[in-house]
Structure 1
Amino acid sequence: MVKNSIQKLSIVGLGNVGSHLFDAFAQENIEITHVVTRSEPSQRVRAKSEWIQDPKDLPSGQLVIICVPDDLIASIIAEIPVDCPIAYTSGSVSLSNLPKRDELGVFYPLQTFTKDSPINIFEVPFFIEARSTDFASKLFDLAWVISRNVNYASSADRKKMHLAAVFINNFTNHLAHISKQYLDGEDLDFNHLKPLLKETARKLESQDPISIQTGPARRNDQEIIQEQIDALENPIQKELYRLFSKSIHQTYFND
């Protein structure tokens, strides 16, 4: 059984990631003594934690989890008391690129988070890295309190996972936006595509993506491909359609 030694911590940033971690830790009786945000948090948060605006005022010697945009991580670290262990939640910032601290690590949840959108965090993969084996072990045990999918990963591997996640999540969501935008313009209902989206996700749970590809490019149906490209008015969308079709074609055909 994993024995977690961290019972108190502070969180910097209560955006999409920070708010979910706050709730997950609170649910498991991990005390969040302080939260650092520019604007005043909700009464629900204030009832459990002390709100401060300056990281310099964080309590000494206590773990701080930083949940801010990547370009702010280094500057936030520089403001936190030097004896505080620190972990940050970024998927793409290398540990070696940050200020020299012995107890500095990564606490990266590989998931898309949206405030007030419930998620089963027990299923979320967490990737742990730290400058010392001891601190990495402590972060692993802490992650195990809220998830049953915890892994050690180097900065290089974590960045590769993040890149793949951009394809499978961020780009997929943008493609859904393009589909909705197109159908809205044609006065058609985007909701009709949702069963298709759900079935695609269901298949991916148990099958290799390469085995379930369908559509005009998979069939090499050049007539339909050209017809659909011609139907699009947005030049970027036309190019996206061409690029995706070309990628699919090259995956399945050798010519």
Structure 2
Amino acid sequence: MTVVDAEVGCYLYGIVAADLRLPDGLTGLDDQPVELVRLDDVAAVTSGLNADRQLARRDDLLAHSRVLDAVAAVGAVIPVRFGSLLHDRSELLKQVLEPDSLRFADMLRELTGLSQYTVRIRYDEVRVLPEIVAENPEIARLRQQTRDRPEESSYQARVRLGELVANALEAKRGDDAQMVLARIEPFSVALSVGEPGGPEQLIDVALLVENRRRDRFEKAAEELAAELADRAVVKLVGPTAAYDFVGAERTDGWA
């Protein structure tokens, strides 16, 4: 194991089992080699980083995620939030590993054999709006009524039209989200549904999937994407670390 220089801080990516073998040649921020700092049954995934280094670049966040996902591909990992830099190895042991090694070990046992996937689906507005018009006579009538009229003379009708479209889209989103979950939830052991990121967002859901079922889950996601291709865009992210389900930090921080 490479010894981290005392004058260089320990950048922390996550927590793993002490017997995990890191991918060969794995590097992290500033292309520094990633190593394990072990204590009993757990270990910190870390790399050296100058203590005065500013962590604000997009490349830094990408490097952080890349390390976690590479580690998750070979074993269970508890992610640590981006930007966690300890003064040195001694502080890492005292502040992170020593107080929580048993808690980390329990969390890792629960994560063993699981990976996170995230399914993000966005409506194609050009395709979905005609659906809404066809399904709602009042919307169709108001749309026709306001089409060629000046905004000043049709203001109230346009406001009403906007409200009806928003309500219809919300109802459609609810129905479609239930359909999506019915298709993919059976492959998961846990899921976390996020809030819509905008009116065109159908669903954003993170799932924990058993590794032995990953192929079947991915096939189901591909079939869902093909089925929705004419009205929505399906993005599948994963397998990744379980960002949405666990975190190493206590509510009172490391101290």
Asked if TM exceeds 0.5, the reply is no
TM score, norm. by length of structure 2: 0.23
- What TM-score do the two structures reach when normalised by structure 1? 0.23
Instruction: Give the number of the structure whose residues are more often helix, by fraction.
Output: 1
Greater share of strand? 2
Higher Cα Rg, which structure: 2
Give the structure, 1 or 2, with the largest relative contact order (CA under 8 Å, sep 6 or more): 2
